[in-house]
Amino acid sequence: MQTQSKNTLDTSVTQFKYKLNSSLRKKEITVLQINLGKRCNLACSHCHVEASPKRTEELSAEICEQLISLIHKFPEIKIVDLTGGAPEMNYGFKALVEAGKSTGKQVIVRSNLTIYFENGFGDLPEYFAKHQLRIVASLPCYLSDNVDKMRGTGVFDSSIKALQWLNKLGYGKEPNLILDLVFNPQLPTGKNFSLAPEQSNLEQDYKKFLQEHFNIVFNNLFTITNLPVGRTKIHLERRKLYTSYLQFLESHFNPSTIEHLMCRDELSIDYLGNVYDCDFNQMMNLPAQTRNGEILTVAKLLEAGSLDLISEVQTAAYCYGCTAGWGSSCGGALL
Ligand code: SF4
Ligand code: SF4
């Protein structure tokens, strides 16, 4: 009888923790990433949050107040990173922006760009500029067909209009108005997997194309690998590609990425106030744990008066997505 080796997930994918020479230790926390909820005006095919206009889960007033206290209490938090869903659609967005800015932190909004054209959200670009938010905007390709295939018909044209609007306000041009774009590879339909192209080369291609065709400028391009989580996982499973995609990612494992993983210095918070090591663990219900194995919440961090309660990052097979090739994080390639 064949027995399964203790260090394999199934017969073919090595458990991530066995790839590491030691446990993945947390460093000092400097980034607070808040996922405000699952409400979004789009429903992209690769969305790891499975967000859509039909979702209703969002921050409550109580958790928002706790987060504002957390932002005020801990000067070691240098960056408040607001995500979703479309963070702008979810409860508490502006209150969290203003808490972050009033305490001198960098505030990032992960924006899908198209939200500015929905009823009630037309003030956002001016609001972002007034508060000098750093915008990290999805534009998974500079070609219209590829973007519309992933994100929905008309999304490319709206994104272009939004970028031109942001440029008019000084985004991508003035030093305090940073506009970054995000590239995601197309979802695979067969075993023709590939990692994102080298980030700085692709950035040059994006810059050239967007400038020449639409007179758009931006600061940085972030390449982000599709982790097999959320809709990407469902897509792969439907095509029976899930295990082979993990094998592909594992075959490109690069140990040099480990030192730079975003989960080392961030806390990721969900709309219920639970704490995770990253947004992917959040979506896969893998909560952060204290040294005693206790599950953490924002209320517990406030009560303890410390952010330094987690010793080891929780890992899973999808961590191969962050550690393949040049690595991947919410800030793009790691190397
Ligand atoms: S990928 Fe972003 S824009 Fe698309 S559905 Fe998910 S949260 Fe919304
Ligand atoms: S998915 Fe990536 S960021 Fe999250 S715990 Fe794994 S390696 Fe870290």
Per-residue tens of pLDDT for the chain, all 335 residues: 333 444 445 568 999 999 998 899 999 999 999 999 999 999 999 899 999 999 999 999 999 999 999 999 999 999 999 999 999 999 999 999 999 999 999 999 999 999 999 999 999 999 999 999 999 999 988 899 999 999 999 999 999 999 999 999 999 999 999 999 999 999 999 998 999 999 999 999 999 999 999 999 999 999 999 999 999 999 999 999 999 999 999 999 999 999 999 999 999 999 999 999 999 999 999 999 998 999 999 999 999 999 999 989 999 999 999 999 999 999 999 99
86 in contact with ligand 1, CB cutoff 6 A? yes
Helix or strand run (H / E) with residue 168: helix 155-168
Ligand 1 atom nearest to CA at 46: 1
112 in contact with ligand 1, CB cutoff 6 A? yes
Nearest CA to ligand 1 atom 3: 112
pLDDT for the residue numbered 10? 56
Q: What is the DSSP letter of 80?
A: E
Q: What is the DSSP letter of 187?
A: P
Q: What is the DSSP letter of 314?
A: -
- Distance separating the N- and C-terminal Cα atoms of the chain: 44
283 within 8 A of 49, measured Cβ to Cβ: yes
Looking at residue 226, its amino acid is N
Question: Among 224, 277, 286, which residue has the most ligand 2 atoms within 8 Å of its CB, making it the best to mutate?
Answer: 277
Ligand 1 atom nearest to CA at 52: 5
Nearest to 163 by CA among 120, 113, 213: 113
Q: What three-state secondary structure class fits 254? A: coil
Helix or strand run (H / E) with residue 235: helix 230-238
Q: What is the largest CA-CA distance in the chain?
A: 68
What would the DSSP string read from start to end of 24-72? -B-----EEEEE-BSB-S---TT-TT--BTT---B--HHHHHHHHHHHH
Q: What three-state secondary structure class fits 257? A: helix
**CA distance linking residue 251 with residue 209, whole number of Å:** 33
Q: What three-state secondary structure class fits 276? A: strand
Nearest CA to ligand 1 atom 4: 44
Percent of the chain as helix, strand, coil, to the nearest 5:
40, 15, 45
Nearest CA to ligand 1 atom 5: 43
319 in contact with ligand 1, CB cutoff 6 A? no
89 in contact with ligand 1, CB cutoff 6 A? no
| Domains contained in the chain, CATH given | 16-323 (3.20.20)
What is the model's pTM? Answer: 0.96
Q: Which residues make Cβ contacts (< 8 Å) with residue 293, sequence separation at least 6?
A: none
Q: How far is the CA of 4 from the centre of ligand 1 (A)?
A: 38
pLDDT for the residue numbered 21? 86
